[in-house]
Amino acid sequence: MWLNQEEKEGVYKAIFNRRDIRHFKTDPIPEETLLRLLKAAHNAPSVGYMQPWNFIIIKSDETKQKLKQAADKEIQALGLHFEGERAEKYKTIKVEGLLEAPVTVCITCDPTREGPHVIGRNSIPETDVYSVVCAIQNLWLAAYAEGLSAGWVSFYKKGDIRKILEIPPHIDPVALISLGYPIDYPEKPLLEIIGWGKRYSLEDLVFAETWNEKYK
C-alpha cells in the first residue's frame, strides 16, 4: 500500500513540476490515456463521499471556438482594470489554449447530489466545490504523469458556458481544463517567469495554534 522511495519521489516531482500550460501541440490524446486521467479525477476525495463532479469532454472545433469567444470577452474585460506597465504586460500574456489543445474538459459540480444532508456539507456548503477542485488536481497530476499538460481556463461567465454546453441551471461549471502535449515546458510557472508575481515564502504563511503566531 505504501510507496517505496522511488515512487515517493515521483509523487513530489509531479507536484512540484506541474505547470499551467497554454501552448499545445495538436497531436491527439489516445482515448485510453484520456480515460486514465478521468479515472484519476473520479478517484479524488470528496466530502461526505458525495462525488459531485461530472466531466464534459470537448473535442469539436465548433465547440472550442464558442468557448474561445466566451473567454476572449472576459479576457478583454479584465484588461480594463490594469494600468501602466501592468496593463502592457497583461496584453502579452497568453491565458488560454482552447483552440490549440486537442481536448478540453469542463468539470462541473452538482450541489444536489446525495440530497440535502451530506456529511460535512451541512456545516460548510462549499465543500462540494472543494471536492471538485480535488478532482481537478488529480486530473492535472495524472496528466503530468502521462507526459501531458493542463491549462486551467479561468476567463468566462458561467452563464455563457452553461448555454454553450447545455448545462442545467443548477449545475456549476467549475473549470475548463485544456489538455494536450506541451510545445515546451517551463521550469517555473509562466506568471513567475514574466515577473507578474512570485511564490510567497512558506514560512510567512504557516502559523502556530492561532492566526499570525509564527510557526517555529
Checking if the pLDDT of 173 tops 90, the result is: yes
Q: Which residue has the higher pLDDT, 216 or 50?
A: 50
The pLDDT score that the predictor gives to residue 73 is: 95
Checking if the pLDDT of 161 tops 90, the result is: yes
Angle, vertex CA 110, rays to CA 69 and CA 97, nearest 5: 25
Q: Which three cell numbers stand for residue 70?
A: 466566451
Question: pLDDT tens digits, residue range 46-74?
Answer: 999 999 999 999 999 999 999 999 999 99
- 20-187 is classed CATH 3.40.109.10: yes
**Secondary structure letter of residue 149 according to DSSP:** E
The pLDDT score that the predictor gives to residue 102 is: 97
Checking if the pLDDT of 1 tops 90, the result is: no
Checking if the pLDDT of 213 tops 90, the result is: yes
Q: How confident is the model at residue 104 (pLDDT cuts 50, 70, 90)?
A: very high
What's the full length of the chain, in residues?
A: 216
Checking if the pLDDT of 156 tops 90, the result is: yes
Q: Which residue has the cell 461549471?
A: 173
Pairwise CA distance, residues 172 & 132, whole Å: 10
Beta carbons of 47 and 111 less than 8 angstroms apart: no
Checking if the pLDDT of 116 tops 90, the result is: no
The pLDDT score that the predictor gives to residue 216 is: 80
Q: Which residues is 177 bridged to in the sheet?
A: 105, 152
φ and ψ of 15, to 5 deg? -65, -45
Beta carbons of 173 and 162 less than 8 angstroms apart: yes
What is the mean predicted confidence (pLDDT) over 141-157? 96
Checking if the pLDDT of 122 tops 90, the result is: no
Which of 165, 207, 146 shows the shortest CA–CA distance to 66? Answer: 165
Task: Give the HSE-up count for residue 7: Cα atoms under 13 Å, Cβ half-sphere.
Answer: 4
For residue 5, count CB atoms less than 10 angstroms from its CB and return exposed for 0-12, middle for 13-18, buried for 19 or more: exposed
Asked whether the CA dihedral 66, 111, 180, 73 is positive or negative, the reply is positive
Average pLDDT of the chain is: 95
φ and ψ of 215, to 5 deg? -80, 125
Q: Which residue has the higher pLDDT, 116 or 202?
A: 202
Which one-letter amino acid corresponds to residue 87? Answer: A
Q: How confident is the model at residue 121 (pLDDT cuts 50, 70, 90)?
A: confident
Domain parsing of the chain, residue ranges: 20-187
Q: Which helix H or strand E contains 151, and what residues bound it?
A: strand 149-153
